[in-house]
């Protein structure tokens, strides 16, 4: 897949310049970086190359990467996924010769029935509410491959936002001409951009349309009615993947204890695991998953790169894939802010593009850290894992992350080892637990979930593990939630 991307890029470079209707050179964007082929991610099992992410999709056709440059900026500004329309037969420079009246492009544009074949289909178009549709202007119109794309997909109920690039022409009727090809869609007015249009202009344009597609990830609202004891519900991450909202934390679990805890958790119904390079147990977590008999695709495994790995992230990711040995990683986080964290995150982004990591996020990033980090990366973190428990509720950070559409996950959800005596015997929590005939731990876990925070309690005790996933047969009242909120002491149990 990487090699074909590289060939594709060089093929496009060969045809650069052929699109101009005059002799004036056309400014094109630099192609986006493609995944570093050295070391090349292990291609097996073959990942699904379909787009994932958000509720908006940017689909575009581009011969000389001008439209691609604008599409990339829309992706950046809107956190959208992207899908490139590739013609079955690529356009050569001669095919695109503006001055040749019998060039392929010219013939197609003048033939009302021309529908140049395109490679593949955008299989999960159904996942997106808004489709930005980009193309270069060819003799005042959209290229016919756009017609092929529209006619071969179902746009019922979607919003389509056309955009184009050109040498100098406006969008004209090139967008309204397309309406009849997807009548079930709501069409927004299209817009023409220059190849070097600023990020800010593009951002303002998107905001002006009030498309409202990023607010519905519901990062902080879980549907707990879908859970039963032994079966935790999921939350949809902004990558498009579903993640269980309760998982097993594996920090401090090692060797056979770790393998057995993972298996006990899977038997109890857990489908999510949290490990990290620094825990030294990725191999055991992978072993537990492989030996459990539960299908791999039903299990969600998260791991983390440690700051001492950020300077050589590709090697670290490869090591992690090898140690886990479960094909792909569901979620990879940066464990802490640190030198080269953006570099490491960008390496993870490349592995997302290659299908070896499905979702990426960070840990121990608070308001300042996340605000500084977001503008430097291309894929918004789907999740932030931070210390959260009744004595350290971190409400401001949680609300900020939820507003950004980022899921919040609690580490030390039970206060952390060595801090539990006081928390697990807290009088308010004990009283609430007695009232519901549940344990204090169950009340704390239920509180996390009702607050919209994912929890990953650590345990090597099968009885505790079963107890921890049995929190779906009761609910805390508003008054009980308020009483637990009042327990906050801003008391952090670890320094990071
Ligand atoms: N990103 C970060 O920087 C960071 C930092 C710390 C932790 N983490 C992650 O967060 C996870 C959770 O943190 P943690 O494991 O350190 O702390 P924790 O989940 O707050 O507490 C774990 C402790 O709770 C006990 N426990 C679990 N269930 C219980 C129950 N039902 N009744 C009584 N005791 C129970 C466990 O003992 P038993 O084994 O006896 O059940 C263990 O001693 C970690 O495993 C790790 O994956 C991440
Ligand atoms: C066959 C052909 C016809 C074109 N017709 C026009 C045109 O009518 N008006 C215009 O301003 N630019 C025209 N152009 C220039 C392209 O619209 C412009 O270079 C565009 O940004 C290329 O986008 P791309 O790099 O994504 O393929 C034409 C280019 C080609 C190849």
In angstroms, the CA 231 to CA 195 distance is 50
Average pLDDT over residues 446-454: 98
Give the model's pLDDT for residue 217: 57
Query: What are the tens digits of pLDDT across the range 379-410?
Result: 889 999 999 999 999 999 999 899 888 999 99
| Pair 350, 317: CB distance under 8 Å | no
Catalytic-residue membership of 279: yes
Q: 27-41, pLDDT tens digit by residue?
A: 332 333 333 333 333
Cα(28)–Cα(16) distance, rounded to whole angstroms?
8
Domains of the chain, residue spans: 2-213, 218-485
Q: 218-485: which CATH topology? A: TIM Barrel (3.20.20)
Give the pLDDT score at 376.
Answer: 86
Of the chain, the percentage scoring pLDDT greater than 90 comes to: 75
Domain 2-213 has CATH 3.90.320.10: no
CB-based burial label for 427 (10 Å; 0-12, 13-18, 19+): exposed
Which residue out of 17, 18, 21, 197 has the highest number of ligand 2 atoms within 8 Å of its CB and is therefore the one to mutate?
21
Asked whether 174 lines ligand 2 (CB < 6 A), one says: no
Neighbours of 348 (CB within 10 A): 27
Do domains 2-213 and 218-485 share one topology? The answer is no
pLDDT tens digits, residue range 278-294? 999 999 999 999 999 99
Between the CA of 482 and the centroid of ligand 1 the distance, in Å, is 24
List pLDDT tens digits, range 139-176. Answer: 999 999 999 999 999 999 889 999 999 999 999 999 99
63 lines ligand 2 (CB under 6 A): yes
Residue entry with tokens 């080892």: 417
Q: Which ligand is nearest to the CA of 22?
A: 2
> Ligand 1 pocket: which of 229, 246, 249 to mutate (most atoms <8 Å of CB)?
249
Mean pLDDT over residues 485-495, rounded? 95
- Give residue 239's pLDDT: 84
- For the ranges 5-14, 185-194, 341-350, the lowest mean pLDDT is seen at 5-14
60-69 tens-digit pLDDT: 999 999 999 9
200 pLDDT exceeds 80? yes
Q: Cβ-count burial of 17 within 10 angstroms (0-12 exposed, 13-18 middle, 19+ buried)?
A: middle
Q: Please indicate whether residue 102 or residue 42 has the higher confidence score (pLDDT).
A: 102
| Mean predicted lDDT score pLDDT of the chain | 88
């Amino acid at each position: 897949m990487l090699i074909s991307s590289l060939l594709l890029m060089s093929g496009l470079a060969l045809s650069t310049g052929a699109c101009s209707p005059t002799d004036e050179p056309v400014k094109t964007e630099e192609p986006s970086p493609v995944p570093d082929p050295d070391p090349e991610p292990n291609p097996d099992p073959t990942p699904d190359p379909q787009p994932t992410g958000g509720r908006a999709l940017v689909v575009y056709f581009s011969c000389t990467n001008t439209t691609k440059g604008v599409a990339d900026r829309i992706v950046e500004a809107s956190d959208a996924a992207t899908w490139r329309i590739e013609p079955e037969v690529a356009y050569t420079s001669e095919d695109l010769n503006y001055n040749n009246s019998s060039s392929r492009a010219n013939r197609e544009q003048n033939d009302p029935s021309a529908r140049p074949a395109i490679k593949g289909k955008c299989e999960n178009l159904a996942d997106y509410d808004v489709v930005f549709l980009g193309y270069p202007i060819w003799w005042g119109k959209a290229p016919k491959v756009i017609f092929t794309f529209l006619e071969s997909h179902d746009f019922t109920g979607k919003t389509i936002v056309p955009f184009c690039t050109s040498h100098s022409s406006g969008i004209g009727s090139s967008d309204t001409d397309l309406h009849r090809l997807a009548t079930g869609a709501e069409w927004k007015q299209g817009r023409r951009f220059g190849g070097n249009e600023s990020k800010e202009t593009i951002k303002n344009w998107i905001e002006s349309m009030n498309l409202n597609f990023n607010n519905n990830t519901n990062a902080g609202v879980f549907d707990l009615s879908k859970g039963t004891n032994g079966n935790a519900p999921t939350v949809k991450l902004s990558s498009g993947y579903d993640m269980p909202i309760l998982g097993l934390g594996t920090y401090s679990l090692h060797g056979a204890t770790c393998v057995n805890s993972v298996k006990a958790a899977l038997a109890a119904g857990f489908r999510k695991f949290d490990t990290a390079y620094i825990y030294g147990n990725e191999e055991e977590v992978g072993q537990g998953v492989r030996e459990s008999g539960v299908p791999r695709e039903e299990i969600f495994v998260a791991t983390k790169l440690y700051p001492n790995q950020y300077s050589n992230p590709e090697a670290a990711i490869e090591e992690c894939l090898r140690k886990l040995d479960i094909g792909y990683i569901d979620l990879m986080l940066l464990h802490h802010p640190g030198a080269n964290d953006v570099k490491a995150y960008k390496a993870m982004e490349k592995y997302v593009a290659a299908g070896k990591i499905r979702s990426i996020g960070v840990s121990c990033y608070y308001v300042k850290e996340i605000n500084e980090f977001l503008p430097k990366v291309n894929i918004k973190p789907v999740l932030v894992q931070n210390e959260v428990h009744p004595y350290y509720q971190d409400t401001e950070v949680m609300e900020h992350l939820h507003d950004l559409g980022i899921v919040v996950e609690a580490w030390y959800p039970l206060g952390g080892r060595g801090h539990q005596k006081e928390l697990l015997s807290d009088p308010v929590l004990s009283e609430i637990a007695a009232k519901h005939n549940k344990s204090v731990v169950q009340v704390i876990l239920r509180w996390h979930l009702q607050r919209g925070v994912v929890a990953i309690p650590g345990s090597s005790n099968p009885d505790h593990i079963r107890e921890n996933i049995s929190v779906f047969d009761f609910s805390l009242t508003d008054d009980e939630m308020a009483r637990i909120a009042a327990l906050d002491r801003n008391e952090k149990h670890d320094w990071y």
